[in-house]
Amino acid sequence: MAAAIGAALSFGVLVLFAPIAPYFWLLIFLPLLVGGLAAAGFARFFARRAGLSRLTGSSLAAIVALLPLGGIVTAMLVSPFQPRAEPGPDPRGPHRLLRSGTGASIAWWALEPERPRHRTPVVFLHGGPGDLVRPRDFDVGSGFRDAGFRTVFYDQAGGGASGDRPIGEYTLANAVADLDSLRAALGTDKIVLWGQSWGASLATAYVRAHPDRVAATILESPGDFPGEPLPLDYSGTDTKGGFKPTLRDATIYLLIGHAPQLAERWQSQPYTRATHQARSATTTHIYGYQCKDVRKPLPRPLSPGGHNLYPQLRLQSDLETQPRIGGTLSSAPTLLVRGGCDFIPPATAARFVRAFPATTRIDVPGRGHGFFGHDAELRRILNRYALTTLARLP
């Protein structure tokens, strides 16, 4: 009984102390100390009933109480380090750099149409968060360029070729501010937002903050709706294999989420990028992005290095805790494209439609999240919308 009380108390202190712990060793030591002392104290009252001296009973209770948390900490510390790798040459070519209003260093690219017809640029918001622009995004964007639109791509702060932020600055508000800095640098009053997955979530947050600066919105395989996350559903996809986290991985997840002030001391942002790069280098296929009745595995798309776990976890958490959006966000033209076996549930897509009532919704059977492996089909859908609905834009 005393040992159980001490063990429970040690975990309780760990959870409560984590957000304010100044040192990693203190985060571990204090819960163990409190749990051990509590177990020893309670054991003094039960020792005689068990036929033990108070010293023996207290010592045994303290040791047993420390075993659960102590065992986890020991296993975590001896867990092997993950291999690391540096990215090779960037397949996307040279980029420009923008110093945003938040102080972030943002890498971006602008691809021009052969026959310009519109002054309003299309700005691509990649998925993630913590991810980056891929060469396939440049290719799919030709659907807009063929319709006369300039297309602009950028790696969001913390991912790809863009610079890292301090962990506390990975917020949705800063992500929106970075996007608005890019709009201002482009010298345009309005932009067309093309958001993919998380990028659609970010686009929604931007429209909420600056509805008068968005000429149209493209929601491609939209991710979570701000403030209203729903459970993912992989039942219709080919999920198998995939990422198998170690205790060391689990530790950095917990630190980023619950003790962010200690996360970089355990595993820095460059380190997390390098471990992800090493895993990616040995991955030939991706799962969960196509329907389960497809027998051929989906090849991993060409991707530069730079995925970052820090913005992934911090921004996703911030997105989920946003105030709920009531009513209409924008009456500007909106296109929502979704695959039939997308792991983002249909109810989320319906929620986007309610916020954007001028939505043209296209559901494509047999396609998964992000339309990976079906770039040409997605390009045609975007081109058709650009040539018709967006043709009236300046």
Tokens of 337: 């494209």
Q: Does one domain contain both 71 and 101?
A: no
Q: Does one domain contain both 213 and 362?
A: yes
Q: Does one domain contain both 73 and 160?
A: no
Q: Does one domain contain both 29 and 164?
A: no
Over residues 314-338, the pLDDT tens digits come to: 999 999 999 999 889 999 999 999 9
List the one residue out of 123, 134, 96 whose CA is nearest residue 306. Answer: 134
Q: Does one domain contain both 102 and 41?
A: no
CB 93 within 8 A of CB 109: yes
Q: Does one domain contain both 101 and 42?
A: no
Say yes or no to pLDDT of 34 above 80. Answer: no
Q: Does one domain contain both 172 and 314?
A: yes
Q: Does one domain contain both 370 and 224?
A: yes
The domain that holds 144 is classified in CATH as 3.40.50.1820
Q: Does one domain contain both 334 and 217?
A: yes
Backbone phi and psi for residue 81, each to the nearest 5 degrees, phi listed first: -70, 145
CB 152 within 8 A of CB 186: yes
Using pLDDT thresholds of 50, 70 and 90, give the confidence band for residue 63.
Answer: low
Tokens of 7: 């063990």
CA angle 341, 347, 353 (to 5 degrees): 105
DSSP string, 213-273: GEEEEEEES--PBTTB------TTB---S-----HHHHHHHHHHHH-HHHHHHHS-HHHHH
Q: Which domain holds residue 22?
A: 2-78
Global pTM exceeds 0.95? no
Over residues 265-322, the pLDDT tens digits come to: 888 999 999 988 888 888 888 889 999 988 888 998 888 889 999 999 999 999 999 9
Residue where a domain terminates, one of 12, 44, 78: 78
Q: Does one domain contain both 214 and 149?
A: yes
Residue 108 domain flag = yes
Residue 124 domain flag = yes
